[in-house]
Amino acid sequence: MSGFRQARWNEPLVFERSKIGTIAYSLPAVEKEVQKALPKPIESIPPTLRRQTPPELPELSEPEVLQHFVRLSQMNYCVDLGLYPLGSCTMKYNPPINERIVQNPYFSWLHPQQDESEIQGILQILYELKQWLAEITGMNQISLQPAAGAHGEFAGALIIRAYHAENDELATRREIIVPDSAHGTNPASAAMAGFNVVVVPSNNDGQVDLQALQSAVSKRTAGLMLTNPNTLGLFEQKIESISEIIHDVGGLLYYDGANLNANLGRVRPGDMGFDIVHLNLHKTFATPHGGGGPGAGPIGVKGALSPFLPTPLVSFDGTKYYLDKERPKSIGRVHGYLGNVLVLLKSYAYILHMGSLGLKAAAEHAVLNANYIMKCLEGVGGYSIPFAPDTWRMHEIVISAKPLLRDTGISARDVAKALLDRGLHAPTFYFPAIVEEALMIEPTETFSKEELDRFIEALREIAEQAYDNPDLVSRSPQHTAASRLDEVRAAHPRTMALSWRMYQKRSKSQSTTQA
C-alpha cells in the first residue's frame, strides 16, 4: 500500500465555531468630523430598507478563521501534490512566479474604467497576448473576454449566429452538429445561442464517421463543433474532409480548444480549416484552476468573422493601445469588463517563460507521457484500450474497465476511488460516453516518469486486488478525508441541504416528524 493518508479533520462548519462577541475584523477609525456629520448612519436609511436582524454570520477571531480554512485546505488534493490525470482538464504545473506577478499593485489596483491613457501597460500586455494566441492557433483575431471555456463556446456560437444572420440565412440554419464524444458544454452552448443540436456518431476508429456527417449536413447546418485531438485522445485524421463537408454546405467549423495541449507548435486549428476557436487558458496555458475557477476562455476567429467578436476589443493604432468599441456587427459584450484579466496575465507570463520552443516541448512531453501510460497498461488484466489499436494517442488516453467489471464487479468508478486511496487523483470517468466504463487519463507534461510509474503500478495493483478481494476495492476510498458520500441523500427533497440555513430547517422538520 502507498501509506497515503489525507488529513481528516473533524472540522465543523464555520457557523458551528461561532462564539458571540469574538471579532476578526480590523477597521480604520473614522475621523470625528466625518462621524459628526452623520452620527447615526443607519437612521438615514429609509425605515423600509433597514436591516432589522443582522445576518447570521459566524463570529470568530482571526487565527480561528485561518485555522478553519487551513484545515479545510488539508482535505483537498491538488496538482502541487501529485498526478492529477483528469482527462480533458490538462492539469499541468501552475508556476508560482505567476501568482507573484498578479499581486503587483500596479495591476491589482487598476480599475477597468480608467482612462485609456492610464492603462497603456495592461493593454499592451493584453494586446501582445492576443497576438501570441493568434499565432499559436493560426487565427487572425482574438477576443480575451470570455471567462471560461464554455463562455467562449457561447460567444463562438453567437458568432456563428451573427454570420448566418448577416447572410440572411439564420432562419434556415438552425442546426449545430456535435460528435457523440463531445463535451457537454458544446451542445449546451449551441442551445444557449438558439440552435438545435444534431449528434453524429463516431466510427470504430473513434473518429467522426464521415458518412454519418455527410448525411447529417444540409442547408440547415449552421456549424460543427469539434475537438481535435478528440476526447479519445485521437487525432481526427480526416479533418480536411470534415472541413470540406461543413464548408460545402455553408456551415462554419468551430474548434473546442480544451485539447490544444498536444498541438502546440505542431498543428494549428486555423490551418486545419477551423473558423472559430476557443482556448482554455486554465488548461493549456498553465493558470491554476482555483478549485473550479476562475479560468479564461479567449476566442479566435478567421478574418472574415472578426467584426462579430465581442466588444470592446483591445487594439493598437501604431502608437497607442485602445479599446475598440466601434463594432456595429459585434455580438455584444459577454463579460462586464475585459474578462478574467488576472488569469490572462498569468498566461502571458507562462508563454513568455516557455517561449515557442518550450511550448512545443511541453506538447511533446505531454504526448510522450500519455503514450507511456498506454504502453505500460497494455496487457494489464482488467483493462482494455478501446478504439484504434496500434494508434498512438495524443495528450490523453481512454481505457475501459469493462473487463474488470465483467470479471469482478469492480467498476471504473471503483477503480477511480481506489486510486484516491493511493494518493493519486482519479482520471475522468464515464466520459466520453462512447466508451463503456471509461477512464480518461491525461497526465500532462508536468509529471515525471516516476510519478507515472506510481500511477501505473496503482492501476495494476487495483486490478489484482479486484480479482483477489473485490470488497476491498469497492470499499475504497478509506484514506481520504471522507469515504464515499451519499449522493441520494444530498439530492432528496427531504434531506437536501444547499446551505446552513436549509440544513437547520430540514433537520428541525425531520426531528419533529420523527417525534
Partner 1 sequence: MPAFRHPFLPNAGEQQKAILAKLGITSVEALFKDIPSKFRFKGKMKIPEGLSEIEVRRHIEMLLEKNSTPYLSTSFLGGGVWPHMVPEVVHSVTSRTEFYTAYTPYQAEISQGMLQALFEYQSLIAELVDLPVVNASMYDWASALGEAALMTSRLTKRSTFLIPEFIAPNRKAVLATYTAPANVSIQRVPSNPVQGKLDLERLKEMMSSEIAGVYLENPAYLGYLEPDVDAIAEIVHDAGALLVVGVDPISLGIIRPPGDYDADVVIGEGQPLGNGVNFGGSLLGIFACKDDRRILRQMPGRLIGLTTTTEGERRGFVMTLQAREQHIRRERATSNICSNQALCAVAAAAYLCTLGPTGLRRLGEQIMQLRHYMERQMSKLDGVLAPRFQATHFKEFVFSLEDRKERRLSILALMKKISQEKIFGGIPLNLEFPKLGESALVCVTELHTKRDIDKYTASIQQALEVE
Ligand X SMILES: Cc1ncc(COP(=O)(O)O)c(C=O)c1O
| Residues at the site binding ligand X, with contacts judged by CB under 6 A | 88-89, 148-150, 183, 185, 227, 256, 258, 280, 295, 297
- Smallest distance from partner 1 to CB 109, Å: 4
Strand, coil or helix: 208: strand
- Smallest distance from partner 1 to CB 482, Å: 4
Report how far residue 216's alpha carbon sits from residue 415's, in angstroms, rounded to the nearest whole number.
Answer: 37
Distances 441 to 262, 374, 377, 483 between C-alpha atoms, Å: 14, 9, 12, 23
Considering CB distances under 5 to 8 angstroms, the limit depending on partner class, which of partner 1, ligand X, none binds residue 81?
partner 1
Pick out residues in 127-146 that bind partner 1 (CB under 8 A). 132, 135-136, 138
Pick out residues in 294-313 that bind partner 1 (CB under 8 A). 294-295, 310-311
- Smallest distance from ligand X to CB 298, Å: 11
Angle ∠(157,160,161) on CA atoms, nearest 5: 90
Torsion angle, CA of 68/69/70/71, rounded to 10 degrees? 50
- Smallest distance from ligand X to CB 224, Å: 14
- Smallest distance from partner 1 to CB 118, Å: 4
Which is closer to partner 1, CB of 136 or CB of 217? 136
Pick out residues in 357-386 that bind partner 1 (CB under 8 A). 357-362, 364-365, 367-369, 371-372, 375-376
Report how far residue 59's alpha carbon sits from residue 65's, in angstroms, rounded to the nearest whole number.
Answer: 9
Tell me whether residue 499 is exposed, middle or buried, using C-beta atoms within 10 angstroms of its C-beta: 0 to 12, 13 to 18, 19 or more.
exposed
Residue 369 main-chain phi, psi, to 5 deg: -60, -40
Distances 438 to 277, 367, 400 between C-alpha atoms, Å: 27, 19, 5
Distance of CA 263 to the CA centre of its chain: 18
Pick out residues in 381-410 that bind partner 1 (CB under 8 A). 391-392, 394
Quick one: which of 139, 160, 140 has its CA closest to 247?
A: 160
Do 440 and 231 contact (CB within 8 A), yes or no?
A: yes
- Smallest distance from partner 1 to CB 400, Å: 19
Do 138 and 303 contact (CB within 8 A), yes or no?
A: no
Which is closer to partner 1, CB of 1 or CB of 357? 357
84 binds partner 1 (CB under 8 A): yes
Q: Number of residues interacting with partner 1: please give it, by CB under 8 A.
A: 211
- Smallest distance from partner 1 to CB 34, Å: 4
Binding mask 20-49 for partner 1 (x = CB under 8 A): --xxxxxxx-xx-xxx-xx--xx-xxx-xx
Question: What pairs with residue 315 in β-bridges?
Answer: 322
Pick out residues in 413-472 that bind partner 1 (CB under 8 A). 416-417, 420, 425-426, 428, 431, 445-450
- Write out the DSSP string of 359-414: HHHHHHHHHHHHHHHHHHHTT-TT-B--SSTT---SS-EEEE-HHHHHHHS--HHH
- Smallest distance from partner 1 to CB 218, Å: 18
The span of 9-17, 213-221, 402-410, 457-465 binding partner 1 (CB under 8 A) equals 9-17
- Smallest distance from partner 1 to CB 352, Å: 5
Considering CB distances under 5 to 8 angstroms, the limit depending on partner class, which of ligand X, partner 1, none binds residue 482?
partner 1
Considering CB distances under 5 to 8 angstroms, the limit depending on partner class, which of partner 1, ligand X, none binds residue 216?
none
Return the number of other C-beta atoms located less than 10 Å from residue 75's C-beta: 14
Which is closer to ligand X, CB of 145 or CB of 227? 227
509 binds partner 1 (CB under 8 A): no
Strands 252-257, 276-279: parallel, antiparallel or unpaired by DSSP? parallel
Considering CB distances under 5 to 8 angstroms, the limit depending on partner class, which of ligand X, partner 1, none binds residue 256?
ligand X
- Smallest distance from ligand X to CB 37, Å: 48
- Grid coordinates given for 287: 493558470
Do 117 and 308 contact (CB within 8 A), yes or no?
A: no
The radius of gyration of the chain from alpha carbons, rounded to an integer in Å, stands at 26
Pick out residues in 265-294 that bind partner 1 (CB under 8 A). 265-268, 271-272, 280, 282, 288-294
Q: Would you give the DSSP letter of residue 86? A: B
The span of 99-107, 300-308, 404-412, 463-471 binding partner 1 (CB under 8 A) equals 99-107
Quick one: which of 352, 343, 381, 377 has its CA closest to 467?
A: 381
What is the amino acid identity at position 326?
Answer: E
- Smallest distance from partner 1 to CB 216, Å: 15
Which is closer to partner 1, CB of 380 or CB of 407? 380
Which residue has the CB atom at the shortest distance from ligand X?
149
Which is closer to partner 1, CB of 26 or CB of 513? 26
Pick out residues in 217-256 that bind partner 1 (CB under 8 A). 234-235, 237, 239-240
Which is closer to ligand X, CB of 130 or CB of 395? 395
Site for partner 1 (CB under 8 A): which residue of 55, 318, 379, 389? 55
Which is closer to partner 1, CB of 102 or CB of 467? 102
Quick one: which of 350, 297, 265, 341 has its CA closest to 94?
A: 350
Sheet holding 141-143, edge to edge: 141-143, 299-301, 276-279, 252-257, 221-226, 175-179, 196-200
Considering CB distances under 5 to 8 angstroms, the limit depending on partner class, which of partner 1, ligand X, none binds residue 227?
ligand X
